[in-house]
């Protein structure tokens, strides 16, 4: 198994933002020194890493075809699909805020859409024996993500 880092966003998305008190996420990413970086924007990451592999992403339209890595509006969506492509049967979404993050905000057009897309994907994967779980603080929830998401 190769030590890989999946990067969906461009490097500029990881720069510190003082107004939100973020740590220097780009520096943390670069210091991780993975054996291989997999990304949909390889040209932008080659200045930081020597082994960069292009990831082809396909827009999700409610149908899951094994081997494809789909995208929606959030990086966890593509990460789930990439993990399945690598053979994962149990996927833990650790640090994914599906309650307070603006992309998942309940009652908004974008939030309701993204939660519905992830739930549709997770149900399709469940039919194939793949379970997606939400990490919660220091423990792992015992129920699949779609039964506990955005409540």
SS (H, E, C) the chain: CCCEEEECCCHHHHCCCHHHCCCCHHHHHHHCCCCEEEECCHHHHCCCCCCEEECCEEECCCCCCCCCEEECCCHHHHHHHHHHHCCCCEEEECCCCCCCCHHHCCCCHHHHHHHHHHHHHHHHHHCCCCEEEEEECCEEEEEEHHHCCCC
Q: What average pLDDT is seen over the chain?
A: 83
Structure-token pair, residue 24: 């220097």
Mean pLDDT across 36-42 = 95
Strand partners for 139:
136
pTM over 0.95: no
Residue 119, pLDDT above cutoff 60: yes
The 10s digit of each residue's pLDDT in 13-22 is: 887 666 555 5
Mean pLDDT across 74-78 = 90
What is residue 2's predicted lDDT score, i.e. its pLDDT? 61
Strand partners for 38:
6, 53
Strand partners for 103:
none
- Greater confidence (94 vs 64) lies with 64
Phi, psi of 111 (to 5 degrees): -65, -50
What is residue 52's predicted lDDT score, i.e. its pLDDT? 96
pLDDT band for position 136 (50/70/90)?
low
Distance CA 134, CA 17 (A): 27
Structure-token pair, residue 18: 């003082």
């Amino acid at each position: 198994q190769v030590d890989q880092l999946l990067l969906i966003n461009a490097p500029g998305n990881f720069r510190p933002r003082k107004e939100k008190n973020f740590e220097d996420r780009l520096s943390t990413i670069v210091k991780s020194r993975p054996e291989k970086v997999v990304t949909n924007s390889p040209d932008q990451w080659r200045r930081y890493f020597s082994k960069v592999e292009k990831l082809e992403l396909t827009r999700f339209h409610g149908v899951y075809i094994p081997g494809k890595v789909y995208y929606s509006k959030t990086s966890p969506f593509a990460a789930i699909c990439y993990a399945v492509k690598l053979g994962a049967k149990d996927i833990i979404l650790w640090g994914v805020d599906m309650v307070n993050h603006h992309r998942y905000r309940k009652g908004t057009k974008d939030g309701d859409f993204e939660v519905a897309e992830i739930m549709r994907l997770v149900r399709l994967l469940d039919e194939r024996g793949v379970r997606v779980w939400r990490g919660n603080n220091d423990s792992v929830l015992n129920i699949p993500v779609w039964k506990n998401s955005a409540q």
